[in-house]
């Protein structure tokens, strides 16, 4: 027995079979029953939602000689004539390939002859928006004064291209895209009738890929059925339709999380080996990222996403160290990749390098870029924005960074070759630790020339950013040996400029100056003479708070050394028994 495609075999035969367009079926049925039939209809909607099928059902219903005015009997002369290959009363043309005036003249010629078998002569013009202007004009006259036995049914996917003169003379019906549930339940019904064993997940794949079109859903279903026979699993359906298995994406997200380039390349290779093309691969990954975000935020349930609870839990728990912000950045990179891919001569390389960049989504790089953006006043040309940036920076500055007692906040500085960088607001404060790095690097002359200096910064919005390397002493006439050392090595200035520009990620104008201590600095000099107890009180906020709250007096303090490698405290205190 010849194989009949499911799409044809299960094409709806009456309005009650139509899925998803109940509003149209109802209106048409009411018009038929009430005898208020329009002579021209326009069916609009996206492809595969049942426009042409509905046109044929309408033609059959109107011409049926059976007793039920709403359901064609299928056995009368007219029904038989229409279901045969070349019906006498129904004339169907595809305007996509018959756009000319002559094609329409042929239609108009036929209009004048009465129907042979049924009550009406019915003209179905598919893709009517494709007709030329001349053809539309020729049609218009007939539409204005049609013979009583003539009915036109136009169908179009692009109603905006149909002239207003035509639109004003037809009764318009808007066909809806089908929901996944509507497609799935129709396929489920066909499976039951055909004795096909299909899992829910398999039917979901058709419903999703169909993207609102019942015809596409049935086509995919047919395609899969030809290979799987009556046992349809999700895996077999995916492999036949070239849809990447979700496991590929779980391994990709894991590779990205672990900065595992090899894992990223392997995923691409695995996909290519099982015949997945890049377009569905990237579409699938986009959907995967979306599902990750949705399930993390619990914005949608497993049901809403048409996935199993088990898969939902896996989405929710995978890639834990990838933040929601990073997920959005990955999505953005993916969208850029999809846009670029169609112009690429080497799509595989492009996909691989983008996945590699995703795996090396380096926070530091972005931080440097962000700092540079804040530092560059040109990027904040808007005064309000500039002000906002300054406010935020000031707020960040006023909040002391969390730190262990006695530790320098910039102790994480790596030396001149290190990667730490600073904003304009913090460069002065960071300067002592940057200087300490020079000594570590072993260039004692340069280190000595910088020792004891202060960095003074000018207007934060000025470009290049003004910085003065300042030698501070008892008087403005500084004759310290480190200042002399700088004068003997004028090349140190250029070197310092390079270092600072690297730290700040912006251009600076560097000057050198000398001055006497300010009052505040003298106070610091005074502090240097204070007792260690007093300094402890000043330095350690908890001690100060104890003193204030309980009027406590510090009588004894033990320095606690922190063993950095073992993360344990090795200091002992015999007095802490109570
Ligand atoms: Zn009939």
Q: CB within 8 A of 93, min separation 6: which ones?
A: 103, 107, 123, 124, 125, 126
> What is the dihedral sign for C-alpha 211, 213, 215, 217?
positive
Q: How far is CA 333 from CA 256, 361, 536, in A?
A: 13, 10, 51
Residue 38 near residue 204 (C-beta atoms within 8 A): no
User: Which of the 8 DSSP states describes residue 69?
Assistant: S
Rounded to whole angstroms, the Cα distance separating 63 from 76 reads 10
Nearest to 335 by CA among 363, 354, 316, 362: 354
Task: Give the pLDDT mean for 165-192.
Answer: 92
Question: Is residue 383 domain-resident?
Answer: no
What distance in angstroms lies between residue 88's CA and the mean position of ligand 1's atoms?
A: 15
Residue 383: pLDDT band (50, 70, 90) is: low
Same domain assignment for residues 47 and 166: yes
Structure confidence at residue 567 (pLDDT): 46
- pLDDT at residue 9, rounded to an integer: 84
pLDDT (tens digit per residue) in 221-242: 999 998 888 899 998 999 888 8
In angstroms, how far is the first alpha carbon of the chain from the final one? 95
- How many residues does this entry show for the chain? 578
pLDDT > 70? residue 219: yes
Residue 366 pLDDT > 90, yes or no? no
DSSP 480: -
Phi and psi at residue 119, in whole multiples of 5°?
A: -85, -30
- The stretch 172-201 carries a mean pLDDT of 92
534-540 mean pLDDT: 70
Kindly state the average pLDDT of the residues 121-130. Answer: 94
Per-residue pLDDT reduced to its tens digit, 16-39: 888 888 889 888 888 888 888 899
pLDDT of residue 393 exceeding 60: no
Q: What percentage of residues in the chain have a pLDDT greater than 70?
A: 81
If one counts the domains in the chain, the total is 5
Ion ligand 1 residue ranges (Cβ < 5 Å): 64, 66, 72-73, 76, 79
Ligand 1 center–CA 40 separation, angstroms: 22
Q: Are residues 442 and 570 in the same domain?
A: no
Q: Mapped to the 3 state alphabet, what secondary structure does 183-203 carry?
A: HHHHHHHHHHHHCCEECHHHH
- 416 and 477 assigned to the same domain: yes
* Mean local confidence (pLDDT), 257-277: 89
**Distance from residue 73's CA to the centre of ligand 1 (Å):** 4
Q: How many CB atoms sit inside 10 A of residue 333's CB?
A: 15
Residue 368 lies in a domain: no
Of 333, 361, 389, which one is at a domain's C-terminal end?
361
136 and 43 co-located in one domain = yes
Q: Looking at the predicted structure, is the pLDDT value of residue 485 above 90?
A: no
Q: What is the CATH number of the domain that holds 513?
A: 3.30.300
Ligand 1 centre distance from Cα of residue 44 (Å): 27
DSSP for 279-331, please give it.
Answer: HHHHHHHHHHHHHHHHHHHT-S-TTTTT--HHHHHHHHHTTTTS-HHHHHHHH
Q: Are residues 164 and 48 in the same domain?
A: yes
For residues 11 and 158, membership in a common domain is answered with: yes
Task: Answer yes or no: do 184 and 294 share one domain.
Answer: no
Evaluate the omega torsion of the peptide bond into residue 180 and state whether it is cis, within 30 degrees of 0: no
Distance (angstroms) between ligand 1 centre and the Cα of 72 equals: 5
Q: Residue 476: what pLDDT?
A: 81
Is position 367 within any domain? no
Q: Look at residue 399 in the predicted model and tell me its pLDDT.
A: 43
Q: Which of 73, 51, 53 is nearest to 62 (CA)?
A: 73
Section 519-536 average pLDDT: 72
Q: Which of 101-110, 118-127, 390-399 has the lowest mean pLDDT?
A: 390-399
Distance CA 238, CA 252 (A): 18
Please tell me whether residues 20 and 159 are part of one structural domain. Answer: yes
% the chain with pLDDT above 90:
30
Q: What's the pLDDT band for 400 if we cut at 50, 70, 90?
A: very low
In a domain, 153, yes or no: yes
Residue 531's pLDDT band (boundaries 50, 70, 90)? low
Q: What is the mean pLDDT of residues 498-509?
A: 86
Expressed in angstroms and rounded, the spacing between residue 128 Cα and the centre of ligand 1 is 28
Please state, in angstroms and as integers, the Cα–Cα distance from residue 331 to each residue in 286, 288, 563, following that order.
7, 10, 42
CA of 535 to the centre of ligand 1 (A): 104
- What is d(CA 225, CA 154) in angstroms, rounded to the nearest whole number? 33
Output the domain CATH number for residue 131. 3.40.50.300
* Residue 273 within a domain: yes
Identify which of 308, 313, 219 has the alpha carbon closest to the alpha carbon of residue 6. 219
Residue 1 pLDDT > 80 = no
Q: Do 135 and 57 share a structural domain? A: yes
What element of type H or E holds 171? Answer: strand 171-174
Q: Domain range holding 569?
A: 530-577
Q: Is residue 138 part of a domain?
A: yes
- How far apart are the C-alpha atoms of 63 and 197, rounded to whole Å? 39
- The 3 state secondary structure assigned to 389-456 is HHHHHHHHHHCCCCCCCCCCCCCCCCCCCCCCCCCCCCHHHHHHHHHHHHHHHCCHHHHHHHCCEEEE
Q: How far, in Å, from the CA of 30 to the mean position of ligand 1? A: 19
Rounded to 5 degrees, φ, ψ at 63 are -95, -5
Q: How far is the CA of 239 from the centre of ligand 1 (A)?
A: 43
Kindly state the average pLDDT of the residues 391-413. 41
pLDDT band at 555 (very low <50, low <70, confident <90, very high): low
What's the CA-to-centroid distance between 151 and ligand 1, angstroms?
A: 18
Q: Which of 174, 189, 218 marks a domain boundary?
A: 174
The domain that holds 212 is classified in CATH as 1.10.8.60
Please tell me the distance between residue 62's alpha carbon and the centre of ligand 1 in angstroms: 9
The pLDDT tens digits for 469-483 are 998 888 888 777 788
Asked whether the beta carbons of 156 and 128 are under 8 A apart, the reply is: yes
Question: pLDDT digit string (tens) for 294-329?
Answer: 898 888 888 888 777 888 999 999 988 888 888 888
Choose between 156 and 387: higher pLDDT: 156
- C-alpha 217 to ligand 1 mean position (Å): 29
The Cα–Cα gap between 372 and 379 comes to: 9
User: At residue 573, does pLDDT exceed 70?
Assistant: no
Residues 327 and 271 in one domain: yes
Same-domain status, 82 and 189? no
Compute the distance from residue 14 Cα to the ligand 1 centre, in Å: 11
pLDDT of amino acid 126: 94
Query: pTM higher than 0.85 for the full model?
Result: no
Cα of 22 from ligand 1 centre, angstroms: 22
pLDDT, residue 317, reads: 92
Give yes or no: residues 510 and 572 share one domain. no
Q: Residue 268 has what pLDDT? A: 93
Higher pLDDT, 502 or 161: 161
- Flag whether pLDDT at 541 surpasses 80: no
Angle formed by the axes of helices 324-341 and 347-359, to 10°? 170
């Amino acid at each position: 027995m010849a194989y009949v495609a499911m799409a044809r075999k299960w094409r709806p035969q009456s309005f009650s079979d139509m899925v998803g367009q109940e509003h149209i079926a109802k209106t048409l049925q009411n018009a038929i029953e009430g005898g208020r039939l329009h002579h021209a209809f326009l069916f609009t909607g996206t492809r595969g939602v049942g426009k042409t099928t509905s046109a044929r059902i309408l033609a059959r219903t109107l011409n049926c000689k059976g007793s039920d005015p709403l359901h064609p009997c299928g056995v009368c002369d007219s029904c038989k004539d229409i279901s045969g290959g070349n019906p006498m009363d129904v004339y169907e043309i595809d305007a996509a390939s018959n756009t000319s005036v002559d094609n329409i003249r042929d239609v108009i010629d036929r209009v004048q002859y009465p129907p042979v078998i049924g009550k009406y002569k019915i003209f179905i013009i598919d893709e009517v928006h494709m007709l030329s202007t001349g053809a539309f004009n020729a049609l218009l006259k007939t539409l204005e004064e049609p013979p009583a036995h003539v009915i036109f049914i136009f169908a179009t996917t692009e109603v905006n291209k149909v002239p207003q003169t035509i639109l004003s003379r037809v009764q318009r019906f808007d066909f809806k895209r089908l929901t996944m549930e509507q497609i799935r339940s129709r396929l489920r019904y066909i499976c039951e009738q055909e004795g096909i064993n299909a899992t829910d997940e398999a039917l979901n794949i058709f419903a999703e890929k169909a993207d609102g079109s019942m015809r596409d859903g049935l086509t995919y279903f047919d395609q899969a059925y030809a290979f799987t026979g009556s046992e349809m699993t999700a895996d077999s359906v995916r492999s036949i339709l070239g849809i990447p298995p979700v496991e590929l994406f779980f391994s990709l997200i894991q590779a990205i999380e672990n900065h595992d380039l090899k894992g990223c390349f392997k995923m691409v290779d695995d996909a290519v080996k099982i015949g997945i093309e890049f377009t569905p691969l990237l579409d699938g990954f986009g959907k995967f990222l979306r599902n990750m975000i949705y399930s993390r935020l619990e914005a949608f349930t497993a049901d809403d996403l048409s996935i199993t609870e088990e898969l939902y839990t896996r989405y929710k728990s995978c890639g834990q160290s990838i933040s929601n912000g990073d997920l959005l950045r990955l999505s953005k990179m993916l969208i850029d990749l999809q846009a670029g891919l169609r112009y690429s001569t080497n799509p595989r390389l492009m996909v691989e390098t983008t996945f590699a960049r995703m795996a090396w989504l380096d926070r530091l790089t972005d931080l440097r870029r962000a700092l540079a953006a804040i530092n560059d006043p040109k990027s904040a040309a808007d005064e309000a924005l500039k002000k906002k940036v300054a406010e935020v920076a000031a707020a960040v500055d006023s909040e002391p960074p969390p730190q262990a007692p006695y530790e320098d906040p910039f102790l994480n500085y790596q030396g001149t070759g290190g990667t730490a960088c600073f904003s304009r607001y913090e460069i002065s404060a960071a300067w002592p630790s940057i200087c300490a790095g020079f000594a570590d690097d072993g260039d004692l002359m340069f280190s000595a020339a910088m020792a004891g200096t202060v960095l003074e910064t000018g207007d934060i919005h000025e470009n290049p950013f003004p910085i003065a390397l300042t030698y501070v002493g008892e008087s403005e006439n500084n004759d310290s040996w480190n200042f002399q050392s700088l004068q003997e090595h004028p090349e140190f200035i250029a070197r310092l400029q390079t270092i600072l520009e690297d730290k700040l990620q912006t251009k600076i104008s560097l000057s050198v100056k000398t001055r006497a201590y300010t009052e505040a600095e003298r106070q610091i000099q005074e502090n240097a003479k204070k007792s260690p107890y007093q300094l402890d009180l000043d330095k350690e906020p908890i001690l100060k708070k104890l003193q204030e709250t309980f009027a406590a007096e510090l009588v004894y303090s033990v320095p606690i050394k922190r063993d950095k490698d073992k993360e344990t405290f090795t200091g002992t205190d015999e007095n802490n028994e109570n």
